[in-house]
Copies of this chain bind each other. A is one copy, B any other.
């Protein structure tokens, strides 16, 4: 079965054609300008491709409430021209196949569950640490949605005792995103994250915050796999630091074979789908409206 996938990001839209086994056959990258400039290229790509459904994983915030008048909209984004844009409606008007719509991180979580690091499991949590911190979660094979879609990147963690950075979130100052997303790193240390590879304290702080958040998610959602992606996680030295902090914070509380010094490296992992995570996520979303 031929399925379409759209990874709608703040800097680029990636569109792909693939199948229900997670294979991507063809893809195209379109820079994110205004909707009027960008969307026609997206529609062009899918013309005559005869896909059976398209899955869209979008940057946000988005309205996921099917009963809402603004379902399928990108809502109050600071990104110029995209605030209150009817993404799903605009695409649906031009393409009459079923569309599945969710956040980019939920799509990524679903892709990793279908074909990636969480394959064969019925729950997982996907966190991206990039320009923002976004989290997608699946329990019992269902994406977690609710009153609002969860905004787990903004939970409050404890401050590292040696960290006096005021925090960077415009809503909460020192919430997780305000302390640990890429721009927070850059503000705290004065250089971009990728220049900080050798800065031990930077990664000690970073692991401290991310591990605390993961522990809270674990105690709340108990995912069977945790997948960490995004630009900042390219600092792969973070993984063992995070593993140590998670075990220390739990202090043996969750007596599970996954949560031992030997096994935690298989529990908190990088994405298995790599560069294809976004497109695979869209394919996995598309599948949900087909079967």
Contact = CB atoms under 8 A, between A and B. Distances in A.
A32 interface: no
A249 interface: yes
A46 interface: no
Nearest to A216: B155
Contacts of A222: 144-150
Contacts of A158: 156, 158-159
Size category of the binding interface on chain A: 35 or more
Interface in A109-152: 123, 135, 137, 139-140, 142, 144-152
14 contacts: A123-B146, A135-B220, A139-B139, A139-B142, A142-B142, A150-B220, A151-B253, A152-B219, A155-B216, A155-B220, A158-B159, A171-B252, A216-B216, A216-B220
Interface of A: 76, 123, 135, 137, 139-140, 142, 144-152, 154-159, 171-172, 212, 215-224, 249-256, 258
Given A140-B142, A147-B218, A151-B254, 15 more contacts: A76-B255, A137-B220, A139-B142, A144-B222, A147-B254, A149-B222, A150-B219, A150-B222, A151-B219, A154-B253, A172-B249, A172-B251, A216-B216, A217-B220, A220-B220
